[in-house]
DNA sequence: AAGACTACTTAGCACACGTTTT
DNA sequence: AAAACGTGTGCTAAGTAGTCTT
């Protein structure tokens, strides 16, 4: 009954299961068939009391030392149980094992470096901390700032003492926020407020703020056109509508008024010129327009390795045939006999031509784009003109899934007005469909945020047109997300204690839930919904982990109870990590794996909805993904505290920021393929650095001689010269330093993508507070789009904001 | 409890674009 | 002026999670 044999299974040992799609398929088929059986078997097994007793006994044995062990860990654990942080990185979308190996090597280096980085910060840490403490005392004892929090959530269920003065009593914010904005308000399209007529209110100690807020310029309406050209002269405001200072809509209502112009459709297909031929089996064939269009999709991808893949070709050919006339269908029976090269050449030429266009032509196109943007890129939602995120309908083409996708190559069909559902206010001007067409439906549902939707034909899922991240409706939600994460902060200790207790539960389901939650918390894994088999790439998250995805080592590399994770997560990005876990977790995992096949679910009694239901009971609004947000944000905050050195210059501080950001990206496993030009650009930088070093040497030499000179003849002129030489050396040193910092940053960032965490997981107020505190211009942290998205945070966070 | 359906967030990548270097 | 470079944006796939039905 030991299940030991599983550990020796060569398939697991190999680890790169995913690389071989054929084997993979077999695995799947196998799994498919076996799955039900297994599940049933498991079920009856677990239900039977004998088994329960057995497992319980097993656990009792170890009770005591687990307890001790656990206790020890606990202390360190608090906020910074982030050993997962160091986890290793490897880029790989299944594909080639080459890359796997590569990644392995790099990762060691990376690990080293991070440690270094962590060390050098220590020096100043203590000093800093003290200062901070003082500041905090000052601010918290003085005026109790009543900061407005967005009261999306009702009071915390699990209350733990707020650890710092900064929290707002739930009741307070309730009062402030509860009031539904305007029951009565009938929603006529009132005049559109041009952003910015809001009162300034709040805001106290301004010192560093003043440079960020040249309040005055009343905003022009429309904000745009004239604005864009204005150079970046510091503030590119557009004083914006401060929705965050207004009250929210009542429950569930997303808007009162919504008007827009509908989507922009993909341009109609333009048949190829007659001189561009397609050959089948060596002979010219003139395709019907429908078939030709689909053929061009394939031709355009000819360069891509997709087109060499079996599944891709198979799917494509099948869908292509559906578009062919009867004659074509009869004649064209073998994709390999199709010659698309002339088409491909034609498209290449086209794109060359586009590049070679004159300035004027390019300018004209740009203007046209701007015009469509102005016309279709905005909607009016509740009196404000708001930017739409994706107002263009996705054009037809061949579906490219990520990773080993069973549907790659299928035809993504052209979306017509007849497929489109419009959502807007009853009393708005309803968008007009293109001439000769009509919408599938026009509805007026103010409980949702989308303007347009359609059903896509690959997965049958619904696609939406929604607003830009800078819009109120997205911003509020984003803000709310971080508030939920902050509430988790208050009760996370309690929750951790709870799941530790649950490791001992006699109910299998509870144990599995507790272990899964531990992973989600400690390693920031995704929840792991189940997916339909064969419909998508085979990827997993926490709840959907299979036995084959982990390996247990009672002891390895001098560590006890190590779990090795190796699986493909979202977007088929590989997650590889070796983590020591607590003994009780380890034992539980052994238990969960007993008598299972590699392709069986590790947590067979658990799924995301069970888990989330449980979380809901622990804290209102808590779901698995909140842990990711929480751990990411808290990690940033803590890393910033540790890494930032108040005496550093700006570039060095930014390096610290990026390192903190990087710690989060590593935690969340946000990887990227190293840029194709990485090596080269690295070398370029190095050359620059070398040049700068030479320059510095020269400057130093000159300084020396100037010094000597100054000693001998002590006239004004030489003195001045000396001064200027000194300055020169200093300046060059600074430049050199800047370059070196840049090099470090880039190297460390080779296969880590900071963007995703910055955009989706890090409470922007942490960054804003940091930048204010250390006098770093916010532009160095957030680019323009990011500043737009986080306008609410930039406006409201002071330098003492605590997540 | 499972499954269908819906809404919304999170994700990496290609490539256009503006800027810097030659 | 052209080439090289790096960044930001657009695109859309792929997740999470809720609700409603059976």
Helices A472-502 and A624-643 cross at an angle (nearest 10°) of 100
Q: How far from each other are the two terminal CA atoms of chain A, in whole angstroms? A: 48
pLDDT at A715: 81
Q: CA–C1' span, A321 to B1, in Å?
A: 41
Protein residue closest to B16, using CA and C1': A355
Instruction: Choose, from A306, A575, A761, A801, the residue flagged as catalytic.
Output: A761
Residue-wise DSSP of A401-434: -SSS-TTTT-EEPPP-GGGPEEE--TTS-PPPPS
pLDDT at A366: 87
Residue A192, by phi and psi: left (phi above 0), alpha (psi -120 to 50) or beta? beta
Q: CA–C1' span, A453 to B6, in Å?
A: 11
Contact A444, A423 (CB under 8 A): yes
Which nucleotide has the least CA–C1' distance to A459? Answer: C13
Q: CA–C1' span, A110 to B15, in Å?
A: 29
Strand C: which bases are under 7 Å from protein Cβ? 5-19
A668 touches strand B (CB under 7 A): yes
A 748-777, residues with C-beta < 7 Å of strand B: 753, 755-757, 760-761
Q: What angle do CA A592, A594, A600 make, to 5 degrees?
A: 70
A198 touches strand B (CB under 7 A): no
Q: CA–C1' span, A803 to B5, in Å?
A: 36
pLDDT at A216: 29
Average pLDDT across chain A, whole number: 76
**What is the three-class DSSP state of A522?**
helix
Active site residue A575: no
pLDDT digits (tens, 9 = 90+) for A658-677: 999 999 999 999 988 888 88
| The pLDDT of residue A174 is above 60 | no
- Does residue A625 or residue A107 have the better pLDDT? A625
pLDDT at A251: 80
Protein residue closest to C7, using CA and C1': A783
- Does residue A117 or residue A744 have the better pLDDT? A744
Residue-wise DSSP of A293-353: HHHHHHHHTTTSGGGGSHHHHHHHHHHHHHHS-HHHHHH---GGGEE-HHHHHHHHHHHHH
pLDDT digits (tens, 9 = 90+) for A31-79: 443 343 343 333 333 333 333 333 333 333 333 333 333 333 333 333 3
Half-sphere exposure of A539 (CA within 13 A, CB side): 24
Which nucleotide has the least CA–C1' distance to A782? Answer: C8
Q: CA–C1' span, A237 to C19, in Å?
A: 41
Q: How far apart are CA A72 and CA A61, in angstroms?
A: 19
Mean pLDDT, rounded, for A342-346: 93
Protein residue closest to C12, using CA and C1': A394
Strand B: which bases are under 7 Å from protein Cβ? 1-2, 4-14, 16-18
The closest of A262, A309, A274, A272 to A294, measured between CA atoms, is A272
Q: CA–C1' span, A16 to B8, in Å?
A: 33
A588 touches strand B (CB under 7 A): no
A16 touches strand B (CB under 7 A): no
| The pLDDT of residue A358 is above 90 | no
Protein residue closest to C6, using CA and C1': A681
């Amino acid at each position: 009954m030991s299940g030991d044999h599983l550990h020796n299974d060569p398939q697991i040992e190999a680890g790169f299961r995913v690389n071989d799609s054929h084997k993979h398929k077999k695995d799947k088929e196998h799994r498919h068939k076996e799955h039900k059986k297994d599940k049933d078997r498991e079920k009856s097994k677990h239900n039977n009391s004998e088994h329960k007793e057995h497992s319980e006994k097993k656990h009792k044995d170890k009770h005591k030392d687990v307890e001790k062990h656990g206790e020890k860990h606990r202390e360190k654990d608090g906020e910074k149980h982030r050993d997962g942080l160091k986890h290793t990185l490897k880029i790989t979308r299944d594909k080639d094992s080459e890359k796997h190996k590569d990644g392995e090597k790099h990762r060691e280096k990376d690990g080293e470096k991070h440690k270094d980085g962590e060390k050098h910060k220590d020096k100043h840490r203590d000093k800093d901390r003290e200062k901070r403490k003082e500041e905090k005392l000052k601010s918290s004892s003085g005026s109790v700032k009543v900061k407005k929090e967005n009261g999306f959530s009702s009071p915390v269920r699990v209350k733990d003492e707020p650890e710092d003065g900064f929290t707002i009593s739930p009741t307070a914010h309730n009062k402030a926020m509860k009031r539904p904005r305007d029951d009565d308000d009938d929603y006529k399209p009132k005049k559109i407020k041009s952003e910015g007529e809001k009162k300034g209110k709040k805001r106290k100690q301004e010192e560093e703020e003043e440079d960020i807020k040249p309040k005055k310029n009343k905003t022009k309406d429309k904000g745009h056109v004239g604005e864009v050209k204005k150079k970046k002269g510091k503030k590119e405001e557009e004083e914006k509508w401060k929705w965050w200072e207004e009250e929210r809509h009542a429950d569930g209502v997303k808007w009162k008024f919504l008007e827009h112009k509908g989507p922009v459709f993909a341009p109609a297909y333009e048949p190829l010129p007659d001189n561009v031929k397609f050959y089948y089996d060596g002979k010219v064939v003139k395709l019907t327009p429908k078939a030709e269009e689909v053929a061009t999709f394939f031709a355009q991808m000819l360069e891509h390795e997709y087109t060499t893949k079996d599944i891709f070709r198979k799917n494509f050919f099948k869908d292509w045939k559906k578009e062919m006339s009867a004659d074509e269908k009869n004649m064209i029976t073998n994709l390999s006999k199709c010659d698309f090269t002339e088409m491909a050449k034609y498209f290449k030429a086209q794109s060359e031509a586009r590049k070679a266009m004159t300035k004027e032509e390019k300018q004209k196109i740009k203007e046209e784009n701007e015009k469509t943007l102005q016309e279709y890129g905005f909607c009016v939602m509740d009196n404000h003109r708001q930017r739409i995120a994706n107002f263009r309908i996705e054009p037809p083409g061949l579906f490219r899934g990520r990773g080993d996708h069973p549907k790659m190559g299928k035809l993504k069909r052209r979306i017509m007005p007849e497929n489109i559902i419009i959502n807007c206010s009853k009393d708005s001007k309803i968008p007009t469909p293109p001439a000769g067409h009509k919408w599938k439906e026009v509805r007026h549902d103010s409980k949702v945020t989308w303007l347009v939707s359609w059903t896509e034909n690959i997965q049958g899922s619904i696609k939406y047109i929604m607003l830009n991240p800078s819009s109120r409706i997205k911003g509020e939600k984003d803000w709310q997300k971080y508030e939920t994460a902050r509430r988790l902060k208050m009760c996370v200790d309690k929750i951790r204690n709870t799941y530790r207790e649950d490791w001992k539960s006699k109910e299998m389901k509870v144990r599995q839930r507790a272990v899964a939650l531990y992973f989600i918390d400690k390693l920031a894994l995704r929840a792991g919904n189940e997916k339909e088999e064969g419909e998508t790439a085979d990827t997993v998250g926490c709840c959907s982990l299979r036995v084959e995805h982990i390996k247990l080592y009672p002891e390895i590399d001098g560590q006890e109870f190590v779990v090795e994770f190796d699986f493909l997560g979202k977007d088929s990005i590989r997650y590889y990590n070796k983590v020591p876990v607590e003994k009780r977790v380890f034992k539980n995992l052994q238990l969960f794996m007993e008598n299972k096949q590699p392709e069986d679910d590790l947590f067979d009694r658990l799924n995301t909805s069970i888990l989330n239901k449980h979380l809901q009971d622990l804290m209102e609004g808590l779901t698995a993904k909140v842990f990711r947000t929480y751990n990411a944000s808290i990690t940033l905050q803590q890393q910033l505290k540790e890494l930032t050195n108040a005496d550093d210059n700006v570039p060095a501080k930014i390096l610290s920021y990026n390192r903190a950001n990087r710690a989060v990206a590593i935690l969340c496993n946000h990887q990227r393929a190293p840029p194709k030009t990485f090596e080269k650009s690295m070398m370029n930088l190095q050359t620059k650095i070398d040049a700068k070093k030479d320059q510095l040497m020269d400057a130093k030499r000159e300084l020396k001689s100037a010094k000597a000179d100054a000693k001998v003849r002590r006239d004004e002129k030489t003195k001045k010269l000396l001064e200027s030489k000194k300055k020169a050396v200093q300046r060059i040193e600074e430049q050199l330093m800047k370059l070196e910092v840049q090099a470090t940053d880039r190297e460390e960032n080779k296969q880590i993508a900071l963007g995703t965490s910055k955009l989706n997981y890090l409470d922007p107020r942490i960054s804003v507070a940091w930048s204010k505190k250390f006098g770093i211009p916010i532009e160095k942290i957030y680019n323009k789009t990011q500043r737009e998205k986080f306008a609410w945070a930039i406006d409201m966070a002071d330098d003492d904001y605590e997540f």
